[in-house]
C-alpha cells in the first residue's frame, strides 16, 4: 500500500519545513515501564517500510539517520511497483544509502506484502506504516502479534469502529512493552514543548480560546478528475486517497490534524463536542468527497473554545498558523505551517514587538527528533507509546469532519461510538478486488450534503 500525497508534495513539505527552520522536541507519552523489547541477539535494528510513497521515503530516511547504533532498512512493501521502485531509487541516491540493504527478494508487492516484509523482522525491530490510514489497524495488529515496534503516520482512523479497534490495539501494544511512534511531530517541536510548559506554569493565565488555520490552494490528491477507464476503481482510490473518506478521512483529517492535536495538547484535554460549517464551491468535474472549506468550533468540558478553519481554494488568502488565548495574553504556537518556529508569548492580545515577553530560539527538526526519541526508547527501554493519543487526535478530527458534513452537533462520544464503518472487510482485499466505495451510474461518489445526509449516509 502507498501513501501518496502525491509523493513530491510530501517530500517538498518536509524540505520546506526543514529549510525554513523546523523545530524538535523529545516529548513522549509517559507510561508505566513494561518488559524490554529489543532486536534479538544484536545491537543492529532492522526496519521494514510498508507504504513507499513520499511520506514513507521521508520517514525511513529519518529512521536511518538516527544515532546510537547500527540500523538498516531490510525490506519494502507496497501495492504499486512504480512507488516501490521510486522510493528505493530515492533512498539509494540519498545520504543514508549505506544503511539500505534491501535485496530484490525483500521487495514485496500486493495487499499481503505487509506480512512478507514484517516476517523478515525480529521481535524488537521496527515496522514503518505509511499507507493510507484505512490499513493502519490491520498492519498494527500484525506487528503486535510479532512483537515488532512501530512508527505509523497520522491520521490513524476515519470512523468509530476502527477507532475502537485501534484503542484496543494500543492497549495490547502497551501490554507487550512495544514502542510506538505516531507522526504527529508537533509534540516533538522544542518551541511548542517550551510553550506548553509555560502555559502549564500559568504564563498565559486560564486558556479561554484557541485558533488554528490551514488555508491554502488545493494540494496533493485533494480532488480527483473522473477515473480513466483503464484504471481499476480500487487502484484509483488508493492512489488518490485524499479524495475518499474510507482511505484517509478526507483532506480535513489528513491536512488539519497537526494543529488540532497540538492545540488540544496546550489545553491538556480533548474537546467534547463540535459544530461546523463547510461547502463545495469550485469543483468542476472533480468526483472526490471533500469540501473546499471547513470551519469547526470545538468546545471543551470547561466551556473553552477551539476554532479551526481549513480551506483548499486557489486565489484566496493563505493563512497557516495557530494561537492560544489566555486571560493574561496570547501565545503563537505555530508561526506558520504545521509547527514551524518561532513560538512566542505576548502580554495582552495585541501581538506587537513591545508586548512580546518570550520567543523560542530553537530551530531543530521535529521530524528527525520524533525518530531519535523512538529509536532511543527502543535501544534503552524507555517508555514511549503514542498510539492512544494518536487515535484520540484522529477521533477529534473525525468529530469536526462529521459535524461539517452532516450539519449537526457531534460529540466526541458520538464520533467514537458511531457504527458507521467506511471499509468493512478491508483485510480481505485482493489486487483484482472491488473497492469499499462504489461510484454511481454517473461515475461520481457520495458527497456531503449537510442537513440532508446524516451519519449513515455521508
Residue 18: predicted pLDDT: 41
- Report pLDDT for 429: 84
Asked if residue 249 has pLDDT above 50, the reply is yes
pLDDT of residue 282: 81
- Of 25, 14, 9, 4, nearest to 94 by C-alpha is 14
The arrangement of strands across the sheet holding 126-129 comes to 107-109, 71-78, 45-50, 126-129, 149-152, 180-182
Residue 24: per-residue pLDDT: 32
Question: Which cell is 434 given?
Answer: 472491488
Q: CA 406 to CA 445: how far, in whole Å?
A: 16
Is residue 361 predicted with pLDDT exceeding 50?
yes
Tens of pLDDT along 189-241? 999 999 999 999 999 999 999 999 999 988 766 677 888 889 999 999 999 99
- CA pair distance 422, 163, nearest whole angstrom: 12
In this structure, are residues 167 and 391 in contact, taking their beta carbons and an 8 Å threshold? yes
pLDDT confidence bin for 39, thresholds 50/70/90: low
Q: Does the structural domain 190-364+395-417 have CATH classification 3.30.360.10? A: yes
CB 1 within 8 A of CB 131: yes
- Domain spans of the chain, in order of start: 7-186+367-385, 190-364+395-417
Beta bridge partners of 336: 340
By the 8 A CB rule, do 331 and 345 touch?
Answer: yes
Which residue do the cell numbers 488555520 mark?
213
More confident call, 16 vs 433: 433
pLDDT confidence of residue 130: 98
Per-residue pLDDT for 36 more than 80?
no
Instruction: Provide the residue count of the chain.
Output: 458
Per-residue pLDDT of 140-184, as tens digits, reads 999 999 999 999 999 999 999 999 999 999 999 999 999 999 999
What is the pLDDT at residue 258? 98
Q: What pLDDT does 94 receive?
A: 97
Averaged pLDDT for residues 311-337 = 96
Report residue 458's pLDDT band, with 50, 70 and 90 as the boundaries.
Answer: low
Report which secondary-structure segment, H or E, holds 212: strand 207-216
pLDDT at 284: 77
Give how far Cα 413 sits from Cα of 61, 160, 273, 419, Å.
38, 9, 8, 12
Strand-strand pairing, 344-347 and 180-182: unpaired
DSSP label at residue 336: B
| Backbone φ and ψ of 433, nearest 5° | -80, 175
**Is CATH 3.40.50.720 the classification given to domain 7-186+367-385?**
yes
Q: What is the pLDDT of residues 75-123, one digit of tens each?
A: 999 999 999 999 999 999 999 999 999 999 999 999 999 999 999 999 9
At residue 455 the predicted structure's pLDDT band, cuts being 50, 70 and 90, is confident
Under DSSP, the state recorded for 343 is P
* Helix extents (H) in 29-135: 54-64, 81-92, 113-118
State the chain's mean pLDDT as an integer.
90
Amino acid at each position: 500500500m502507498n501513501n501518496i500525497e502525491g509523493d513530491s508534495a510530501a517530500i517538498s513539505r518536509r524540505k520546506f519545513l526543514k529549510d525554513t527552520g523546523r523545530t524538535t522536541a523529545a516529548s513522549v507519552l509517559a507510561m508505566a515501564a513494561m518488559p524490554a523489547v529489543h532486536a534479538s541477539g544484536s545491537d543492529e535494528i532492522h526496519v521494514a517500510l510498508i507504504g513507499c510513497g513520499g511520506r514513507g521515503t521521508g520517514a525511513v530516511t529519518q529512521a536511518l539517520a538516527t544515532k546510537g547504533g547500527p540500523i538498516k532498512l531490510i525490506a519494502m512493501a507496497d501495492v504499486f511497483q512504480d512507488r516501490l521502485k521510486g522510493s528505493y531509487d530515492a533512498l539509494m541516491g540519498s545520504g543514508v544509502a549505506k544503511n539500505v540493504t534491501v535485496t530484490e527478494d525483500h521487495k514485496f508487492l500486493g495487499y499481503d506484502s505487509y506480512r512478507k516484509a514484517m516476517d523478515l523482522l525480529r521481535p524488537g525491530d521496527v515496522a514503518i506504516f505509511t499507507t493510507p490510514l484505512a490499513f493502519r489497524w490491520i498492519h498494527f495488529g500484525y506487528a503486535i502479534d510479532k512483537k515488532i515496534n512501530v512508527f505509523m503516520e497520522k491520521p490513524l482512523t476515519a470512523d468509530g469502529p476502527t477507532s475502537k479497534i485501534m484503542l484496543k490495539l494500543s492497549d495490547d501494544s502497551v501490554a507487550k512493552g512495544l514502542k510506538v511512534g505516531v507522526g504527529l511531530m508537533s509534540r516533538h517541536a522544542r518551541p511548542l514543548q517550551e510553550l506548553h510548559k509555560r502555559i502549564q506554569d500559568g504564563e498565559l493565565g486560564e486558556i479561554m480560546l484557541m485558533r488554528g488555520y490551514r488555508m491554502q490552494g488545493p494540494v496533493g490528491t485533494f480532488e480527483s478528475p473522473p477515473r480513466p477507464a483503464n484504471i481499476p476503481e480500487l487502484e484509483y482510490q488508493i492512489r488518490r486517497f485524499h479524495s475518499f473518506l474510507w482511505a484517509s478521512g478526507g483532506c480535513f483529517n489528513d491536512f488539519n490534524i497537526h494543529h488540532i492535536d497540538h492545540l488540544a495538547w496546550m489545553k491538556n484535554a480533548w474537546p467534547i463536542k463540535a459544530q461546523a460549517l463547510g461547502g463545495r464551491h469550485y469543483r468542476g468535474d472533480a468526483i472526490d468527497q471533500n469540501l473546499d472549506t471547513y470551519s469547526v468550533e470545538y468546545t471543551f468540558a470547561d466551556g473553552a473554545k477551539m476554532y479551526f478553519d481549513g480551506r483548499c481554494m486557489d486565489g484566496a488568502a493563505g493563512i497557516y498558523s495557530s494561537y492560544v488565548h489566555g486571560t493574561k495574553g496570547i501565545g503563537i504556537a505555530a508561526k506558520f505551517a504545521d509547527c514551524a518556529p518561532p513560538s512566542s508569548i505576548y502580554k495582552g492580545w495585541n501581538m506587537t514587538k513591545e508586548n512580546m515577553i518570550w520567543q523560542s530560539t530553537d530551530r531543530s527538526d521535529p521530524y528527525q527528533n520524533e525518530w531519535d526519541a523512538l529509536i532511543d526508547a527502543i535501544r534503552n527501554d524507555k517508555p514511549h507509546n503514542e498510539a492512544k493519543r494518536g487515535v484520540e487526535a484522529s477521533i477529534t478530527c473525525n468529530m469536526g469532519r462529521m459535524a461539517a458534513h452532516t450539519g449537526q452537533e457531534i460529540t466526541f462520544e458520538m464520533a467514537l461510538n458511531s457504527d458507521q464503518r467506511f471499509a468493512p472487510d478491508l483485510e480481505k482485499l485482493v489486487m483484482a478486488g472491488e473497492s469499499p466505495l462504489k461510484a454511481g451510474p454517473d461515475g461520481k461518489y457520495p458527497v456531503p450534503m449537510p442537513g440532508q445526509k446524516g451519519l449513515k449516509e455521508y
